[in-house]
Amino acid sequence: MAFPAGFGWGAATAAYQVEGGWDADGKGPSVWDTFTHQGGERVFKNQTGDVACGSYTLWEEDLKCIKQLGLTHYRFSLSWSRLLPDGTTGFINQKGIDYYNKIIDDLLTNGVTPIVTLYHFDLPQALEDQGGWLSEATIESFDKYARFCFSTFGDRVKQWITINEPNIYAMLGYELGIFPPGVPHSGTGGYQAAHNMIKAHARSWHSYDSLFRKEQKGMVSLSIFAGWAEPADPNSVSDQEAAKRAISFCLDFIAKPIFIDGDYPEVVKSQVASMSKKQGYPSSRLPEFTEEEKRMIKGTADFFAVQYYTTRLVKYQENKKRELGILQDAETEILTDPSWISLDWVYVVPWGIRKLLKYVKDTYNNPVIYITENGFPQLDPVSLDDTQRWEYFRQTFQELFKAIQLDKVNLKVYCAWSLLDNFEWDRGYSSRFGLFHVDFEDPARPRVPYTSAKEYAKIIQKNGLEGDA
């Protein structure tokens, strides 16, 4: 089962989850610094990313892990407030530039291609204070930040992700309030935040296109979270429609404007409009793009970056009580199959990734696809010999192989989440996705390979699995 020649094997991390050094060398506070320092058990055991994996001072150790795996690609994110402490180019933190320059240069020296994310959930607190992603002003701030990064690092970085999972952050941060800023806005916040993120992405893509592409010759996209959805009852037409709506409200909500026509899926627009009307709103709670904005948004991605972890069953759930919320607008109930193995929120469904890739190919004009995250958590107590978890990875690679060979999906890069055990947002350090174990009790934060890391290294070396699919 050899993968195509030149297939990219990577692993991913994100700044707040691994760096630590939360206020070191002039870094400004991000929303996660503020949120975790407020306590209140919003994060498991009130844990924080103040130190995390210590990657801000231990980059050399991370590089050893990358080399041990033999990665061809490494995806990491820039801390916006480490580079621009108040979120603006009014003050630029040279120590932040130096840190990321070293990472980029070391990767290239070792033959590893950097995939760099501009924004992975850690908005500068100074911008959140001015409304964050609910404010149109953040679009302009993001575009200026993106231009700064393109001009500073773009001579060497050729693969950019603007925003990580806008659909998830809009939902968890601004709809439900589980993530910073921690204030729920049911039925409105998620849509407004995603609306602004889509426009911010498009603006920064155009900035790259007009100012940097000719000279730098790189590619720009954004990473979209997508679970797969199957009807709870495959024979029920209403469940079949509900499963389609679930995909429309999650993946297509972001992808259709950017890859197809600059606008939201029709089913999303009609569902939210009709629900808003029933609830007595004068107009739809879903913001509208102007015709000019649609033209600006359409076609603003150079490849399709998707993040898959799991699959869910979806059942039609009429919103009889006219409750506010995105799931209520979609009129879906999300379930799981009792036969699926549960690892925290990740249910192990490797075949879902093949179905998702086929859907992306068929719906979005057979794009070049990067899987920028995929993985499986271990919950404490963990064993370094994680043979069962490796089996889930192996099954996933078999499905990717089928997607490439049988479905002719144009998949070019796979990034495992994550290189290291790290600060897993509201789960703190209780959910371990790393290929390398990190001892968070030891000040030296030693990295030790799990069995999965050793097995993944073999796959990378062979560019595929032993035997046939």
Angstrom distance (rounded) from CA 180 to CA 191: 16
**Alpha helices, DSSP H only, in 311-385?**
326-330, 351-363
Our answer to whether residue 165 is catalytic in this structure is yes
Over the stretch 371-380, which tens digit does the pLDDT of each residue have?
999 999 999 8
Over the stretch 111-156, which tens digit does the pLDDT of each residue have?
999 999 999 999 999 999 999 999 999 999 999 999 999 999 999 9
Q: Which two tokens stand for residue 54?
A: 């210590």
Query: Do 125 and 81 touch, CB atoms closer than 8 A?
Result: yes
Query: Do 105 and 150 touch, CB atoms closer than 8 A?
Result: no
Our answer to whether residue 373 is catalytic in this structure is yes
Angstrom distance (rounded) from CA 348 to CA 340: 6
Decide: helix, strand or coil at residue 406.
coil
Angstrom distance (rounded) from CA 160 to CA 361: 21
Which of 19, 61, 128, 165 is flagged as catalytic?
A: 165
- Measure CA of the first residue to CA of the last residue in the chain; give whole Å: 6
Torsion sign, CA atoms 458, 464, 466, 469: positive
Which of 19, 128, 230, 373 is flagged as catalytic?
A: 373
- 42 burial type by CB count under 10 A (0-12 exposed, 13-18 middle, 19+ buried): middle
Cβ neighbours for 202, distance < 8 A, ≥ 6 positions apart: 258, 296, 297, 300
Nearest of 167, 44, 39 to residue 423 by alpha carbon:
44
The beta-strand segments (E) located in 179-299 are 219-225, 228-231
Over the stretch 33-63, which tens digit does the pLDDT of each residue have?
999 999 999 999 999 999 999 999 999 999 9
Thinking of the domain 8-462, which architecture would CATH place it in? Alpha-Beta Barrel (3.20)
The structure's pTM equals: 0.98
Q: For the residues 335-355, what does the mean pLDDT come to?
A: 98
